[in-house]
Amino acid sequence: MQIIYQDDHFVAVNKPSGLLVHRSDIDRHETQFALQMVRDMIGQRVYPVHRLDKPTSGVLLFALSSENANKMMQLFANGRVEKRYLAIVRGYTPESETINYALKEQLDRVADRKARKGKPAQSAITYYRRLATVELPYAVGPYSTCRYSLLEVTPKTGRKHQIRRHMKHVFHPLVGDTTHGDGKHNQLFRDQFNCHRLLLSAVGLSFKHPITQQQLTLNASLDKSFSRVMMWLKWDKGLC
């Protein structure tokens, strides 16, 4: 993994798709975790302050002490961290949209077996703007062609799988999403582009450093698999 930022208090890396942040009962067979790898890279203990889904790539921030981890988690909890994602979704979306749709907490059968069930839905807000579109000459379902949009997505809240669930809610699911997506379009990308991943990447994280009070913007480049799809779709990286 590439280290994209490091100081005496925090370290940020560009997490690849398919890598867990930390050990989980859900994926007991996994032997590599971002937390462990970053610890070994810098030679000291690190503390996670937020989460990226296993299939999502991009900026992942760790604290170098439990005290600083608590400070950073408060910034996330209070909505004082701006997160920017790139996503490829099915269909032509509007030019921009704010999705305000409450989400019920999703519990994992193994990891959340002790969590209280039946909680009311929580407020969830996601903003996106469309960067590009493409129509491909491949038949999917009843249609002779298929259409996709490249989005810059900014979630205003941090619910579990929020972007994936919100895009499904507005009928523009993420390509490669095996839980909330469209299986036919996922299969098309596997067959035509050898793409076996979720096309969602956390490309930016902005916040005021809780120790130095400086404004930080951490950026992560797209990994090879995502960049390859962008090239095949003839979308210039300058769009990002």
Options 53, 112, 177, 182, the catalytic residue: 53
Q: What is the pTM of this model?
A: 0.91
CATH number reported for the structural domain that contains residue 128 in this entry: 3.30.2350.10
Run means of pLDDT, 10 residues per run, the chain, 240 residues:
95 95 62 88 95 94 97 95 98 98 76 61 96 96 94 95 97 96 96 96 97 96 94 82
Task: Give the relative orientation of helices 183-193 and 224-232 as an angle to the nearest 10 degrees.
Answer: 90
Q: Which residue matches tokens 């975790």?
A: 33
Domain range spanning residue 212?
2-239
Distances in Å between the Cα of 34 and the Cα atoms of 13, 95, 147 are 9, 35, 34
Output the 3-class SS for 67-84. Answer: HHHHHHHHHHHCCCCEEE
| Contacts of residue 196, Cβ cutoff 8 Å, sequence gap at least 6 | 176, 190
* Residues in a beta bridge with 150: 88, 132
Question: Is residue 8 annotated as a catalytic residue, yes or no?
Answer: no
Structurally, how many domains does the chain consist of? 1
